[in-house]
Amino acid sequence: MAFTIEDGTGIVDANAYISLAEFDTWFGDRNDTDTLALTDAVKQAAIITATSYVNSRYEFLGERSTSTQELEWPRKGAVVNGQTLIGVPKPLKKAICIYSGLVANGENLYINTAPVGAGGATVGTIKKKKEVLGPLSEETEYFGEESSSKSSTTLQFRSIPEADNMIKKLLAVKSTMIKQLVRM
């Protein structure tokens, strides 16, 4: 997959809200030499992941500028404090820097919760958990788990206050509602 930055015009195949230069500037300004030392490929993958995370997590003001753009921004009808937002807003870019820095350093932006069984029903409480340290193994059995049904993990979005607060003004719904993503 190519690393394609949204330039504010509604690019059809864009998958990133920030460039490598913006990423490096953010972490350079914070003297985060470990993050700066990561390869460009790792940084790009983290930026793409963070962009996808933001697009799946939030409902933004207004509507997409074009019907063919890949990402949620740019938008039309997005007004904050009487100002129409044009292109990709700076608070969104700053939040993407934070989210992508976490991802680049191996952190997960989602919280894993109990498995979900067939039909979307939560499988339930942990019945038995086995962890082995060498050579690393983990096994979890849940009450009510049916061996014949497919199960999936319900993921919730992790709270990352510094980044989340930057995006708050850009949201269509002013609430603490958390969307859930179900991975099959």
Closest CA to 5 of 105, 90, 88: 88
Checking if the pLDDT of 113 tops 80, the result is no
The per-residue pLDDT for 125 is 54
Tell me the per-residue pLDDT of 142-168, one tens digit each, with 9 for 90 and over: 555 454 444 555 668 889 999 999 999
| Contact present, 86 and 29 (Cβ < 8 Å) | no
pLDDT, residue 142, reads 57
Q: Is 47 in contact with 96 (CB distance < 8 Å)?
A: yes
Check residue 111 and give its pLDDT: 83
* Stated pTM of the model: 0.74
Tell me the domain boundaries of the chain. 20-107+160-178, 112-153
Provide the mean pLDDT of the chain. 83
Q: Are 50 and 16 in contact (CB under 8 A)?
A: no
Q: What is the pLDDT of residue 104?
A: 97
* pLDDT exceeds 50 at position 47: yes
Phi, psi of 51 (to 5 degrees): -65, -45
Give the pLDDT confidence score for residue 147 in this predicted structure.
Answer: 45
Output the pLDDT for position 136.
60
Q: Where are the beta strands (DSSP E) in 46-151?
A: 63-64, 75-76, 79-80, 83-84, 110-116, 126-132, 137-142
SS3 161: helix
The better pLDDT of the pair 23, 129 is held by 23
Please name every residue paired with 180 in a beta bridge, in sequence order, or none if there are none: 156
> Which residues are within 8 A (CB) of 56 and not within 5 positions of it... i.e. 6 or more apart?
179, 181
Over the stretch 68-111, which tens digit does the pLDDT of each residue have? Answer: 999 999 999 999 999 999 999 999 999 999 999 999 999 999 88
> Which has more confidence, 100 or 174?
100
In the 8-state DSSP scheme, what is residue 2? -
